[in-house]
């Protein structure tokens, strides 16, 4: 047996940097394959392939618009990752703070 398919689940799909970058970009709204190609400087075929993987795990959805295809993020599909990760949250915060407080801290750090 080899490594699990990238389409096996969201964890595998998201393990790839490029795909994470694509998702981050789509965070700002619908985008065309060409938009992604230009913005992230990835060859068009690879973008299409990555989008295929992301579509298979439901991380993105698409709709056709003329000869373009608009891709949009489906963040719901990331739930399993958040859920799984969050179960360990209390462990790295000895005072068992709530997660939102933790996230607030992160935002403050980013501000500096």
Partner DNA sequence: ACATCATATTCCGATATAGGCATGTGTCAA
Partner DNA sequence: TTGACACATGCCTATATCGGAATATGATGT
Residues that bind a second copy (CB under 8 A): 3-4, 6, 11-12, 14-17, 20, 23-24, 27, 73, 75-76, 78-79, 81-89, 91-92, 98-100, 103, 106
- Choose between 52 and 98: whose C-beta lies nearer to DNA: 52
Residues that bind DNA (CB under 7 A): 1-7, 16, 18-19, 32-34, 37, 42-53, 62, 64, 66-69
DSSP assignment string, 20-86: HHHHHHHTTS-EEHHHHHHHHT--HHHHHHHHHHHHHTTSEEEEEETTEEEEEE-GGGGHHHHHHHH
- Choose between 41 and 67: whose C-beta lies nearer to a second copy: 41
Minimum distance of a second copy from residue 2's CB (angstroms): 10
Task: Count CB atoms within 10 A of the CB of residue 26.
Answer: 21
């Amino acid at each position: 047996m080899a490594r699990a398919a990238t389409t096996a689940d969201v964890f595998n799909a998201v393990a790839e940097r490029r795909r994470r970058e694509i998702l981050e970009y789509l965070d700002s709204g619908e985008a065309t394959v060409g938009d992604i190609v230009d913005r992230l400087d990835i060859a068009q075929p690879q973008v299409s392939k990555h989008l295929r993987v992301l579509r298979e795990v439901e991380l993105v959805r698409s709709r056709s618009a003329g000869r373009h295809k608009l891709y949009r993020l489906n963040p719901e599909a990331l739930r399993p990752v958040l859920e799984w990760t969050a179960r360990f949250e209390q462990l790295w915060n000895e005072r068992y703070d709530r997660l939102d407080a933790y996230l607030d801290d992160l935002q403050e750090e980013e501000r500096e």
